[in-house]
Structure 1
Amino acid sequence: MWLSNFTLVLPDEVVERGSVRIEDGVIAEIRPEPVKIATFDGGGRLLMPGFVDLHGDMIEREIAPRPNATMPIDFGIHELDKKLAAAGVTTAYAAVSFATESVYGHVRSLETTSAVIKGLRALRDHLLIDHRVHARYEITNVGAAPTLERLLNDGAVDMVSLTDHTPGQGQYNNIEAYILSMSERRSMSREAAEEVVARRIAMRQDPDIEAKLRDIVGLSLKHSLSLASHDDDSAEKVAEMHDLGVTISEFPVTLPAAEEAHRRGLWTLMGAPNALRGQSMSGNLSALDAARAGLLGTIAADYHPAAFVPAIFKLADVASGGLPAAVAMATANAARAAGLTDRGAIAVGQKADLVAVERGTVHRIRATFRGGRIVYSDGTLHPLAAMAA
C-alpha cells in the first residue's frame, strides 16, 4: 500500500510531496516524490510517526468521570482507546497509581489500579492502539509494594515511575497552596485539609520507605523496564534518582533539575499541555523554556492527549532542529526512552504507525494508522479506489 503526496516528517528533514510504501504493517520504502498508483493521496498533508505517550492519566477520568460515578473498567478502556487514536497516539502507557492518599481517592486504590491493569492486559489484542502499563509507585505508600511486586513478577507492568507527593517538596513545595488546593478539590474544611497534609508529611518518616523503594527499583531493573523519577525539584534529587537506576526525569519542577538530568544523560519528559499553554498548571518549569535551553527530550499527554499536535508546532518554533526535532519529542525520543526500537520514525523497517495532520489555524488530525491500518479517520482522507468508484 502506498501513501502518496504527503509532506513527510522524517527524522532529520521534511520532504514535500513524498510517498511511503507499507507492507505487512511495516514501512518498506520511502520516495521523495508522489507515486502513480497509491491507496491514499495526502494532498500535501503532513505525515508524522504515531505518537508514543509515556504518561497519560486519562483512564482515571474514563472510569470515574464524576465523584461517586464509577463506570465499568472495560467500557472506560474502550472509550479511552478511541480518544487516543483520534489524538494520533498509537502507543500509550496508561499511568496508573498506587496512592491511596491521593485526591483522586478510590480511583488510585490498590483494588481499582489492579483491576485496570488486568483489564488492559485482557483487552490489549482487541484495541485500536498499543496499550501498555506505566505503574506509578508512591514511595510513602509502602503498603502498595507487595501488590506492585506481584504485578512486576507477572509481567503486567511495562514502565515504573517513582513518585513522592509529600507536601513541602517536589510539585507541592508550597504547603499553604497545597492546603488551599486540597480544600477546594475535596470540598473539605481548611482544618480537615491541614490534618491530611500533616498525615502525609508524617508518612515520609516510615523507616520501611527506603528498603521498599530499593526492592521496587531492583525488580524493575531485573525485568529491564524503563524507570522514571517524578517531579524532581533539585539537582541533588536528580543525582539520587540517577544513582538508583532512573533513566527518565518526568516533569522536572525546576530548571536546575532539568539541567542536571540532561547532564547525566537522562531523558527529560514534560507535558504536551504545558508546551501548548507555555506554562505549567502548577507554576513549575515551562516546557517551552526547557526546549529553548536544549533540555527537553520528550513530551507526554499527561492529562490531555489532544495537546500533542499543537504542542509540537509550538515546540518547533523554539527547539533546535525545528519540526523534525519537535516531532521526535512525541515519537522517536519517547520510544527510545521506553526501550522501544521498532517504532517512532518514518524510516524503512519501522512500524507503520502514522498520523496525517492538516495544518491550519487549528491543526487537525485527519487520520491515524497503526501498523498500516486506519484506526481513526475524520472522513476527509479517502482511499483513491473508493473515490474512483
Structure 2
Amino acid sequence: MKEQLLTNAKLVLADEVITGTLLIREGEIADIHTGVSSVPMAEDLDGEYLLPGLIELHTDNQEKYFTPRPKVDWPAHMAMATHDAQLVAAGITTSFDSVALGDIVGDSTRVEKLDAMINAIISSQEQGLNRAEHLLHLRCEVSFPGLMSLFERYVNQPLVKLVSVMDHAPGQRQFPPEAIGKYRDYYQIKYGLSDTELDRFVAEQQANSAQYADPFRRQICSMCHARDITIASHDDATLAHAQESAELGMRVAEFPTTLEAARASHELGLKVLMGAPNIVRGGSHSGNIAAKDLAAAGVLDILSSDYYPSALIQEAFLVAGLENDYDLAAAVRLVTANPAQAARLTDRGELKVGLRADLVQVNSHSVMPLVERVWSRGKRVF
C-alpha cells in the first residue's frame, strides 16, 4: 500500500484539535505533526476536520434491511451490503451489529430472522464484503424462557465481542411499576389485544421475569467473563441496578433511564452509553433522562447511533456546542476512543501513531457536519 499524506487538516486528537499533517503507511497512522506540509504528494484537506473512524457499539440498523416490509425477506448479503454502506457513509468504521436473543413474544420477526442475520454478518465479514468492520453484539432478553439455548449457540462465535443483558418485562427497568400503564397501552395497541388478553400477557411476562431474569443474567455474565467478552447492562434505573451491574463485572451501562443510575454507573467505573438520536432530537422518545442532561452532569461516556447511523457524527458537534464541559475533542471521544476502550479494541479509536488508519474527513458546514471521505485501515471506502 502506498503512503498517503493528508495535510492542512484540523486533526481531532485525544485531548486537543490541531492544524497538522497525518501520514498513512501500510494501513496504520505512521506520523502526525503540526503545520502544513509542502511535500508534492501531500493532499490538502482545506482545513476540514479529520477524526478517528467512528465506533458504534449498539445498532440494530440492519434489521430493517433484512425485513424491509412486513413478511418481506430480503437476500441476506444484499441486506448487509446496504446496512454496511449506510454506516460507512455516516463515518462508522467499526460496528457492533446488535442482534436480539429473545423477544417479548417468542415468534417475533427478530427471533425468526436471527440465524439468517447472524450468518450474514459473519459470512460477509469473513468474505471481505464489508467496508466497515462488523462485530457482533448479542442483546440478551433475560426474561425470555428460551434465551440460554440461543446464547449458547452463538457465544463462541469469534465476532462476538459485546453482550448486553436486559429485561423488558412490566415492572422492570424501562417499565418500573409506575409505568405499567404506559406498558399496557403500548403493547395493547402493538399486538391488538383485548383487555383480558392483555392481562394474561402482562402476567406471563412478569412470571417469566421472576423465574428467569436473575439466574440468566448471572449465568450469562459468568460465561462472558470466561471468554473475555465485554458485558453491558441495559435500562438501569436505580442505584441498586447500577451496583448490581458493577458487582457482575459489567463495563458499559446502556441507556440508563435516570440521572441517579447514570451517575452511579459512571462513578462505579461503567461507561455510560446513550443514544445519539436523543441528542439530535433534544431528549428521549420514551420520556427517560435526556442525554444532554447527562452531558451537563459530566457522566456521559459513549454515544450510539442506535437506529439512525448519521446521528453519530452530528452528536459530536452538537455536544460540543451545548452547555457542558465537553469540547470537540472530548465530544469526539464519545464515539471513538471511549467505545474502543470499553470494548477492549486497543488498535483504534484515536489519531495516534501505530493505530489503524480508520479516518473520517468532516466538513463543518453551517447547516450540519458533512462526512466527505472515510478510510478503513488506510483504504478509501467512501
- Measured against the shorter chain, the TM-score band is over 0.9
How far apart, CA to CA, are the structure 2 residues paired with 1:26 and 1:161?
Answer: 31
Matches within 5 A, 1:195-206: 195-206=200-211
How far does residue 68 in structure 1 lie from its aligned partner after superposition?
1.7
Deviations 1:131-170 (A, max 9, x none): 0000011111131212212321343421100111011232
Aligned to 1:266: 270
SS of 2:232's partner is strand
Identity of aligned residues (%): 35
SS at match of 1:177: helix
Distance in 2 separating the partners of 1:190 and 1:374: 56
Measure, in 1, the Cα distance between the counterparts of 2:5 and 2:140: 44
What secondary structure, in the 3-state scheme, does the structure 2 residue paired with 1:126 have? coil
Structure 1: distance between partners of 2:193 and 2:83? 30
Corresponding letter in the other structure for 2:274? M
The answer as to whether partners of 1:142 and 1:209 remain within 8 angstroms in 2 is no
Q: Give the Cα–Cα distance (whole angstroms) in 2 for the partners of residues 76 and 191 of structure 1.
A: 39
Report how far residue 61 of structure 1 moved.
1.1
Aligned with residue 61 of structure 1, among 57, 64, 67:
64
Q: Is the 8 A contact 2:58 2:304 kept in 1?
A: yes
Distance in 2, Cα, partners of 1:151 & 1:12: 38
Q: Which amino acid letter does the alignment assign opposite residue 179 of structure 1? A: R
Q: Which runs of no fewer than 5 residues in structure 2 stay unpaired?
A: none
| 2:348 aligned counterpart, secondary structure | coil
Of 360-369 and 253-262, more deviation after overlay is shown by 360-369
User: Which residue is 2:24 aligned to?
Assistant: 22
Which SS does the other structure have where 1:367 is aligned? Answer: strand
Aligned pair count?
372
- 2:134 aligns with 131
Question: What TM-score, normalized by structure 1, do the two folds share?
Answer: 0.91
Task: Determine if the alignment matches structure 1 residue 299 to structure 2 residue 300.
Answer: no
RMSD: 1.7
CA change 1:253–1:31 in 2 (3 A) is same
Helix, strand or coil for the counterpart of 1:153?
coil
Q: Say which SS state the counterpart of residue 268 (structure 1) adopts.
A: strand
| 2:35 match | 33
Q: CA deviation at 1:188?
A: 4.7
1:102 Cα deviation after fit: 5.1
Is 1:5 matched with 2:11?
Answer: no
Paired position in structure 1 for 2:358? 353
**Residue matched to 1:383:** none
Letter in 2 for 1:219: M
Q: Which moved more, 1:367-376 or 1:173-182?
A: 173-182
Structure 1 residue 75 displacement after superposition: 1.7
CA shift at 1:357, angstroms?
Answer: 0.7
Aligned-residue offset at 1:190: 5.2
Alpha-carbon distance in structure 2 between the residues aligned to 1:343 and 1:55:
17
Match of 1:170 in 2: 173
**Structure 1 residues 12-33: Cα deviation after superposition (integer angstroms, max 9, x where no partner):** 11112x1110001100011211
Flag the 1:32–1:187 CA change in 2: closer, same or farther, 3 A. farther
Structure 1 residue 217 and structure 2 residue 218: aligned?
no
Q: Distance in 2 between matches of 1:310 and 1:3?
A: 23
Question: Post-superposition shift, 1:42?
Answer: 1.0
Report the alpha carbon displacement of residue 4 of structure 1 after superposing the two structures with TM: 1.4
Amino acid at match of 2:376: R
- TM-score, structure 2 as length reference: 0.93
Confirm or deny that 1:235 pairs with 2:243: no
Superposition pairs of residues 319-330 of structure 1, within 5 angstroms: 319-330=324-335
Specify whether residues 319 and 338 from structure 1 end up closer, same or farther in structure 2 by C-alpha distance, changes over 3 A only.
farther
> Which whole-Å CA distance do the structure 2 matches of 1:266 and 1:43 have between them?
39
1:279/1:347 CA distance change after superposition, 3 Å? same
CA contact (8 A) 2:101 2:150 kept: no
Contact 2:138–2:162 (8 Å) recurs in 1: yes
Q: Per the alignment, do residues 189 and 363 of structure 1 end up closer, same or farther by CA in structure 2, a change over 3 Å counting?
A: farther
Q: Which of 365, 374, 377 is the matching residue for 2:371?
A: 365
Give me the whole-angstrom Cα distance separating, in 2, the residues matched to 1:194 and 1:226. Answer: 37
User: How big is each residue's C-alpha offset from its partner over 1:178-225, in whole Å with a ceiling of 9 and x where there is no partner?
Assistant: 22222333455555444433321221122x443333221111111111
